[in-house]
Amino acid sequence: MNNPHTSVLLNESIDGLNIKSDGIYVDGTFGAGGHSFQILNNLKKGHLFAFDQDETVLKFIDERFINHPNFTFIQHNFSTMQHQLNQRGIQEVDGILLDLGMSSMHIDQPERGFSYMHEGPLDMRMNLNQKITAEVILNTYDYHALLKIFRDYGDIEKPHVFANVIINNRPYHTTKDVVKVTDFFFKGKKGHSAKAVFQALRIEVNQELNVLEDVLKQSLNLLKSDGRLVVITFHSLEDRIVKHFMKTHSTVKQLKGLPIALDEKPLFELMTRKPILPSEKELLENSRSASAKLRISKKTDNS
């Protein structure tokens, strides 16, 4: 079928997994299946478990995946990864890939409400079964809750003022309703007036930062020795969490005044001191890759 989504940093992330033909791998963000397909191409006796909570991606489980003996799709948020794998008898894996970017199929579907460029309902849910939408947040959250969202998730200028502006201009039903307010409030600012606001709302609706922290912690237990954790981020909030996690677990904590035990090793080894960025060729072919950063860590044999 026609695939509307181009996987970002595809070759670099597959290389980063250092795939063993008989290994067990997890694609925590199946999306349109681009990364999953490449992982499967490198497996012989191994197995790939792909997660995605969005039921609309089921249409991408096409002839590349249907009845493939090395493939299992799990329709759940990747924050449930360890539980779901354990239920299937899997205690450890050789690699975990997380592509945290918004899929083109979400952005380009006005009815999903992710895009400020198209008029649509204020939805923004990755899991269409959950109750909280962007419309619920904008119309019902109090001042303090809105302030936290706009300040922490959007780094919005004067978030305390903007939170009051949102409250004073209720109700909101479509993406256009929000853009009218942001066009007025951020008049003259560089870039689209609603970009940071939509990012903040999407993060809150889907609890993106919380579930990211959850799955990173799970990787400590799930990865085998020499197993790879490969993460592609698309904004500074995600990247900061991933960078801090990898750095923290790639160093041995030393108590002041006490020597480090010679046999003590960190849980991870950094494979990328600096993030891998898209090539000039990829940037020309896919402008949406511009903000992507790839970080890779390897589980040590210390566990």
**CATH number, domain at 135?**
1.10.150.170
- One-letter amino acid at 172 equals Y
Same domain, 169 and 214: no
Domain assignment of residue 139, yes or no: yes
The arithmetic mean of pLDDT across residues 184-209, rounded, is 94
User: Tens digit of pLDDT for each residue in 93-143?
Assistant: 999 999 998 776 777 788 999 999 999 999 999 999 999 999 999 999 999
Domain assignment of residue 234, yes or no: yes
- Note whether 15 and 38 are within 8 A (CB): no
Sign of CA dihedral 57, 211, 170, 235: negative
**CATH number, domain at 57?**
3.40.50.150
User: Tens digit of pLDDT for each residue in 146-195?
Assistant: 999 999 999 998 999 999 999 999 999 999 999 999 999 999 888 899 99
> Domain boundary at 206, 231, 249, which?
206
Q: 241 is in which domain, residue-wise?
A: 10-104+208-299
> In the structure encoding, which two tokens stand for residue 71, read together?
């493939």
**Predicted pLDDT of residue 2:** 42
Closest CA to 286 of 63, 47, 79, 8: 8
* pTM as predicted: 0.92
Indicate the number of domains in the chain: 2
- Note whether 233 and 239 are within 8 A (CB): yes
Contacts of 49 by beta carbon, 8 Å cutoff, 6+ apart: 24, 25, 26, 27, 72, 74, 84, 85, 88, 90, 93
According to DSSP, residue 53 is labeled -
**Predicted pLDDT of residue 189:** 86
